[in-house]
Structure 1
Amino acid sequence: MRKLVDLFSQNKKAQLLLFIVYVAVTSLSLILAQQSVVAFLLLLFSILLLYFLKLNTKAKWIIGLLIVAVLIPFSASQGQAYESYMDVATLVGIYCAMALGLNIVVGFAGLLDLGFIAFFAVGAYTYGIFASAQASKFLHFGHFPLSGESFWIFILIGGIVAAIFGILLGIPVLRVKGDYLAIVTLGFGEIIRIIFNNLDHPINITNGSMGIASIAPPKIFGIVIANASQFYYVALAILLVVIYIVTRLEHSKIGRAWKAIRDNEIAGQAMGIPLVKTKLTAFAIGASFSGMMGVVFAAKQTYVDATSFTLLESTTVLVMVLLGGMGSVPGVILGAAVVTILNLQVLTEVSNWLNQLNTNGVISVPDALSPAKMQRFIFGLLLILFALYRPKGLIPAKNQKYDANKLKKSTTKSMYVEPQVSNDKKASGGSEI
């Protein structure tokens, strides 16, 4: 049996053929069932299977894009639950981008941030204020609300404003680390939430606890983006950009500097890494991704208030990073998807099913142990099990591997390169000292 498994693991064609069969069966079952959470989740599971296939990276990206951009929306659109499926998938994309931003701060730079949801709130309020009539209450010039075409500009504006807030957070916390850093960032997140919740006097900027309603939906080429199935592609496009940027940063000079100060600040500083600049860069870039998705969230919900940006939300995003694997880009994406789907779909469906059985008299569940009240308990229990049996995350971070022979050859060549002499010195017969 082990020989067959080894042969299958080495045979790329057999893996690809079995994967195609699996995707075809799950997509067909979703089309025929029309409203099946199990079929939808099994189709999403194909993305994880694709990651473990022994194919080249380019082929994986092409197949993965076809699945998430074409096959999943088409299969889900054949039933009545189309919009609910796409709503979950859109929130998965939003939280994946946020978790990747937090992964820069926590996973790469090793800076524990418990107030990361504050940057999400900054991006959401930035768009919500100007895309509604709220801005006209304290600005006496211009025409508000802004049109839906401004949404695309506000994605960048929200990221920039959140990055500025990230720098403002980073400046006072540079002298603390560990538990003290967690306390300071926790306080920052709560301060931002309380300010937004009370910023209705003396100048009414955020409308206080009443929140901001009637936020203008995005528009592109005159088409209003109002449904979850349309926002799905917006979130997917931004997520792909975030994945590309984070992947490039991970193996860049700044990415190696982040990992150096994460492992040992003193050693990194001794090697010439500017500690202040490196930490501020991590806070700013991570916050910008959260701010961008905050703009998408505000446009999708068409309503923003401070209750969406509590400490529980910050903890949830941090759990996504820890569960997936700190410093691992695919792991963080998987962790964000698992936590979001568990919270929004799996545990909700299980609770509804048990409630239905209780109503029909099949089983008798006391009110104190009702599934609706035990949902957080079940979620916490699952996280404990993951922490016990997968302490490094679902997909642990892997260091980039280098070919030692190639490094030796490149080092040897660089040692024997003849120094460049300028044409002026050659003409004058001078030599370089």
Structure 2
Amino acid sequence: MKEKWSLFSQNKWAQVLLFTLFVFVTSAALYFSQKSVIAFLLLLSSLLILHYLKLKKITKWVVAAGLLFILIPFASSGGPAFQSYMDVATMVGIYVSMALGLNIVVGMAGLLDLGFVAFFAVGAYSYSIFATPQASNFMPFGTFPLGGESFWMFLIIGGFVAAIAGVLIGIPVLRVKGDYLAIVTLGFGEIIRILFNNADRPVNITGGAMGIASVTPPKIFGMELIFPNQFYFVTLVILLFTLFAVIRLEQSKLGRSWKAVRENEIAAQAMGIPIVKTKLMAFALGASFSGMMGVVFAAKQAFIDPTSFTLMESFTILVMVVLGGMGSVPGVILGAAVVTILNLQVLTELTNWINQLNFNGVISIPEALSPAKMQKFIFGAILVSFALYRPKGLIPAKNKVFDEKKLKDAIKKKSQISTD
């Protein structure tokens, strides 16, 4: 069996053929079924299988783009659950982008941030205030709400405002490390949430606990984006930009500086790395991606209030990073997707199915053990099992391995050229 598996793992074309067959079968099953969560999840899992195929990176990117932009939306459109599937996929994209931003702070720079959802809130409120009549309460000029065309401008503004918030939070917390850093960032996250909750008097800026409703939907070429399948493509484009930026940052001089600070701050400082600047850049860049997705979230939901940005949301995003593998970009994507799909679809569908069996008298469940009450327990048990069997994450981070002989040869050539 091991010999057959080793032969299959070395045969690239056999892998491609089996992968193509898998994608075709799952796509057909999803398209022709009225509603099949299993087929939808299997089709999404094809992206994970693609990651492990022995293909060139450019080939993987092209195939992944085809799956995300064409095949998954088309296969999901065959039944009445189309918008439901697209809503879940959109939320996955939002949380993946936020998890990638937090991965910069926690995974690469080693700064434990428990208030990351605050930047998500900053982005969401920056658009919601001006996309509703709320801004007219304190703005002496201008006509509000702004049109849906302003959404695209607010993607940049939301990211920029969140980056400034990241720097403002980062400056005072740079004096502390470890557990104290976690406590301070947790406090700042709660401060921002409470600030939005109470900023309805004496001037009503955020709507307070009542939130902000009727947020203007985005517009592009005169068409309003109000359905989940439309927001899916917007989220996907921003996610691809985030992914490209994070990968480039990881491979840059700044990314190596983050990792050096994470491993040993004193040694990094001795090597000439500016510690303050490096940490602030991690806070700012990580926050900016979260702020951009906050704008998308506000436009998609058309209503926001402080209950959407609780401490539990920060913990959930941190769980995504730790579960996937801190510092690992593919791992964080997988961790965010797993946690989001478990919360929004798998456990919800399982709860509805068990409730239906209980209602029809097939099984009898005591009220104290009702599925709705046990949903968080099941989620926690799944996370514990993941942590026990994959302590380094689903896809652990791998440092780039250099060939020592090639490095020595390159150094010799440089020395010879300098002496000549």
- C-alpha deviation, 1:138, in angstroms: 1.0
Q: For 2:236 and 2:69, locate their aligned partners in 1 and report how far apart those are by CA, in whole Å.
A: 8
Q: Any conservation in 2 of the 1:34–1:76 contact (CA below 8 Å)?
A: no
- The letter for the 1-side match of 2:401 is K
- C-alpha deviation, 1:209, in angstroms: 0.7
* Aligned ranges 1:341-360 → 2 under 5 Å: 341-360=341-360
Paired residue for 1:233? 233
Paired residue for 1:252? 252
- C-alpha deviation, 1:407, in angstroms: 1.8
Q: For 1:391 and 1:274, locate their aligned partners in 2 and report how far apart those are by CA, in whole Å.
A: 32
Paired residue for 1:126? 126
Paired residue for 1:268? 268
Paired residue for 2:296? 296
- Deviation per CA, 1:190-246, whole angstroms, max 9, x where unpaired? 000000000001111101111111111001111111100000000000000000000
- Deviation per CA, 1:37-92, whole angstroms, max 9, x where unpaired? 01100100100000000111111111111111100000001100000000000000
Paired residue for 1:407? 407
Q: Any conservation in 2 of the 1:76–1:85 contact (CA below 8 Å)?
A: yes
SS at match of 1:175: coil
- Deviation per CA, 1:378-415, whole angstroms, max 9, x where unpaired? 10111111111100000000001223333223212221
SS at match of 2:111: coil
Q: For 2:263 and 2:175, locate their aligned partners in 1 and report how far apart those are by CA, in whole Å.
A: 17
- The letter for the 1-side match of 2:92 is V
Q: For 2:66 and 2:134, locate their aligned partners in 1 and report how far apart those are by CA, in whole Å.
A: 41
Asked whether 1:148 is paired with 2:148, we answer yes
Q: Quick one: percent identity of the two aligned structures?
A: 69
Q: For 2:53 and 2:169, locate their aligned partners in 1 and report how far apart those are by CA, in whole Å.
A: 41
- The letter for the 2-side match of 1:187 is G
Q: For 1:418 and 1:58, locate their aligned partners in 2 and report how far apart those are by CA, in whole Å.
A: 37
Paired residue for 2:139? 139
Paired residue for 1:281? 281
Q: For 2:34 and 2:103, locate their aligned partners in 1 and report how far apart those are by CA, in whole Å.
A: 36
Paired residue for 1:182? 182
* Aligned ranges 1:10-409 → 2 under 5 Å: 10-409=10-409
Q: For 1:128 and 1:137, locate their aligned partners in 2 and report how far apart those are by CA, in whole Å.
A: 13
Q: Any conservation in 2 of the 1:120–1:291 contact (CA below 8 Å)?
A: yes
If you compute each CA radius of gyration, which structure gives the higher value, 1 or 2? Answer: 1
Structure 2: state its 5+ residue gaps.
none
- The letter for the 2-side match of 1:101 is G
Structure 1: state its 5+ residue gaps.
421-433
- C-alpha deviation, 1:162, in angstroms: 0.2
Q: Any conservation in 2 of the 1:117–1:314 contact (CA below 8 Å)?
A: yes
Q: For 1:413 and 1:149, locate their aligned partners in 2 and report how far apart those are by CA, in whole Å.
A: 56
TM-score (norm 1): 0.96
TM-score (norm 2): 0.99
Q: For 2:404 and 2:32, locate their aligned partners in 1 and report how far apart those are by CA, in whole Å.
A: 53
Q: For 1:387 and 1:6, locate their aligned partners in 2 and report how far apart those are by CA, in whole Å.
A: 28
Q: For 1:347 and 1:109, locate their aligned partners in 2 and report how far apart those are by CA, in whole Å.
A: 33
Q: For 1:401 and 1:12, locate their aligned partners in 2 and report how far apart those are by CA, in whole Å.
A: 24
Q: For 1:25 and 1:404, locate their aligned partners in 2 and report how far apart those are by CA, in whole Å.
A: 46
Q: For 1:410 and 1:221, locate their aligned partners in 2 and report how far apart those are by CA, in whole Å.
A: 54
Q: For 1:386 and 1:328, locate their aligned partners in 2 and report how far apart those are by CA, in whole Å.
A: 16
- C-alpha deviation, 1:140, in angstroms: 1.9
- The letter for the 2-side match of 1:112 is L
Q: For 1:367 and 1:158, locate their aligned partners in 2 and report how far apart those are by CA, in whole Å.
A: 45
- The letter for the 2-side match of 1:272 is G
Q: Any conservation in 2 of the 1:166–1:283 contact (CA below 8 Å)?
A: yes
Q: For 1:229 and 1:403, locate their aligned partners in 2 and report how far apart those are by CA, in whole Å.
A: 46
Paired residue for 1:425? none
- The letter for the 1-side match of 2:104 is I
SS at match of 1:417: helix
- The letter for the 2-side match of 1:409 is D
Q: Any conservation in 1 of the 2:355–2:371 contact (CA below 8 Å)?
A: yes
- C-alpha deviation, 1:34, in angstroms: 2.4
- C-alpha deviation, 1:251, in angstroms: 1.3
- Deviation per CA, 1:159-200, whole angstroms, max 9, x where unpaired? 000000000111011110111001000000000000000000
SS at match of 1:215: coil
- C-alpha deviation, 1:416, in angstroms: 2.3
